[in-house]
Amino acid sequence: MRKLFLFAWALTGFASAAAAASVPGLDAIYPELDAFYIDLHQNPELSGHEEKTSAKLAERLRRLGYEVTTGVGGTGVVALMKNGAGPTLMLRADMDALPVEEKTGLPYASKVTVKSPGGGVVPVMHACGHDVHMTTLLGTASVLAKMKDKWRGTLMLIGQPAEETIKGAEAMLKDGLFIRFPKPTFAVALHDSAELPSGTVGYAPGFFLAAVDSVDITIFGRGGHGAYPHKTIDPIVIAARTVLSLQTIVARENNPLDPAVVTVGSIHGGFKNNIIPDEVKLQLTVRSYSEEVRKKLLAGIARIAKAEAAAASAPKEPTVAIVESIGATYNDPALTKRVAATLAKALGDSNVSTIAPKMGAEDFGAYGRAGVPALMFDLGAVEPGSFEKAKASGTPLPSLHSSEFAPDRERTLRTGVSALTAVSLDLLAKK
């Protein structure tokens, strides 16, 4: 009962309405948070190159009194605030941006370009809201640093690199994240959403985001003149049959109740109309939740690719390589139930909802697979009026990774800080 009383008292000042979600002290620091967000948005950095971004985050956390370590798993940041005996709560924000040219028309739109490995120019944009994630992390860090009499334990804040290439979480873990630093009792993250109005949050217990495997297939043939196909073994025809046959894995081999996706996103072969090439390359993305389904999909892809090549008397078997891979993001059911109740108290029941799992992917799930109860929830980022108009008309809004995606800045940031603060005060509550 005392714990509930303290928690309720600590949340005094939280607004339940979507338009005014706030925590004590947030109004005073909001202008600084807003400036931090705009700076991050104007100066994005690609995966693995977050040097300036991580330095900005680290410097501000040090100012707040956190013990900060940089260079973890590349450009990763780990900030600790120890406040007596108690659990360790890890809050994670990712830092990298995307190779997208911003077309939002915002006065603070990114104009950043960088040189690609091939020597070309690549535009860069925070099109997935990682600037939102870092700003809400900093805001929560600021508020909790001034509320140390309301919580006990260790707050562990993570600035993670390379989420977009699904390498950052594993890199930090391999660099001793849970060995050099306290292993968390809980791990929590939020992700902005282009499918929820700002001022609201959504959660899903159990599987939340899919496992992803990027598969490259090279099909070999025997090239020649397009006028004499009978003197060749055409890898383009083999590739075409392979693409169609791959769809039967999901349509006819997989249980319809088990989510699965096999998408061929790229096919390349040949250079001229009248020349049959020697080889064709396919690039696939494969999505699933359970490891059983994941193994079945990957085995089926290899089997079909080899069988189609054999049926065409290809000179050799195709190569099938998994070039990127990350497991599903699974929300611990008990932690999800507890956090959902906390969010409902902080933001109001009407602003917290259960949402459906997605086939998108995230590397946050790696922390859960490392033995830590973990939860990721969605933070609405669409201006409520625009959301309702789009819902009524059926007009799609810009999605994450879109060049036109722009969060409803202030409401989204305030709600994010309010949500993470409420969750932290509960999970680190004084007994």
How far from the centroid of its chain's Cα atoms is residue 124's Cα?
17
Helix (H, G, I), strand (E, B) or coil at 146: coil
> Phi and psi (nearest 5°) for 399?
-90, 170
Percent of the chain whose pLDDT exceeds 70? 95
Sheet with 260-268, strands from edge to edge, namely 260-268, 279-288, 211-220, 319-326
Largest Cα–Cα separation, the chain: 85
- The domain limits of the chain are 2-209+328-427, 211-326
β-strands 153-160, 76-83: how paired? Answer: antiparallel
Please enumerate in sequence order all residues whose Cβ is within 8 A of that of 197, keeping only pairs 6 or more positions apart, or say none.
18, 380, 382, 383, 384, 387, 388
Judge whether residue 13 has pLDDT over 60: no
pLDDT, averaged across the chain: 94
Mean pLDDT within 292-314: 98
Residue 430: per-residue pLDDT: 84
Catalytic, 96? Answer yes
Q: Please give the structure tokens belonging to residue 370.
A: 């490392």
Mean pLDDT within 339-354: 98
Higher pLDDT, 17 or 422: 422
How far from the centroid of its chain's Cα atoms is residue 126's Cα?
12
Catalytic residue chosen out of the listed positions 45, 94, 102, 163: 163
Residue 11: per-residue pLDDT: 42
Helix (H, G, I), strand (E, B) or coil at 6: helix
Catalytic, 175? Answer no
Residue type, 76: G
Mean pLDDT check: name the lowest of 9-13, 21-25, 207-211. 9-13
Residue 12: per-residue pLDDT: 39
Side-chain-facing half-sphere of 366: CA atoms under 13 Å: 21
Judge whether residue 136 has pLDDT over 90: yes
H-state helical runs in 151-290: 168-174, 177-180, 235-248
Residue type, 285: T
CB 324, CB 306: distance < 8 Å: no
From residue 315, alpha-carbon distances to 149, 270, 310 in Å are 72, 17, 9
Mean pLDDT within 9-30: 61
Among 3.40.630.10, 2.40.160.20, 2.70.98.90, 3.20.20.70, name the CATH number for the domain at 2-209+328-427: 3.40.630.10
Catalytic residue chosen out of the listed positions 45, 96, 131, 408: 96
> Phi and psi (nearest 5°) for 88?
-110, 125
H-state helical runs in 316-383: 333-347, 365-369
Residue type, 281: K
Residue 21: per-residue pLDDT: 54
Judge whether residue 288 has pLDDT over 90: yes
Structural Rg of the chain based on CA atoms:
24
CB 194, CB 358: distance < 8 Å: no
Distance CA 112, CA 55 (A): 18
From residue 50, alpha-carbon distances to 79, 88, 428 in Å are 17, 26, 30
Strand partners, 115: 121
Mean pLDDT within 260-276: 97
Mean pLDDT within 234-256: 98
For 312-325, write each residue's pLDDT tens digit: 999 999 999 999 99
Architecture of the CATH domain 211-326: 2-Layer Sandwich (3.30)
> Phi and psi (nearest 5°) for 292?
-65, -45
For 175-234, write each residue's pLDDT tens digit: 999 999 999 999 999 999 999 999 999 999 999 999 999 999 999 999 999 999 999 999
For 100-125, write each residue's pLDDT tens digit: 999 999 999 999 999 987 788 999 99
Judge whether residue 20 has pLDDT over 70: no
Judge whether residue 14 has pLDDT over 80: no
CB 281, CB 267: distance < 8 Å: yes
What's the per-residue H, E or C state across 281-302? EEEEEEEECCHHHHHHHHHHHH
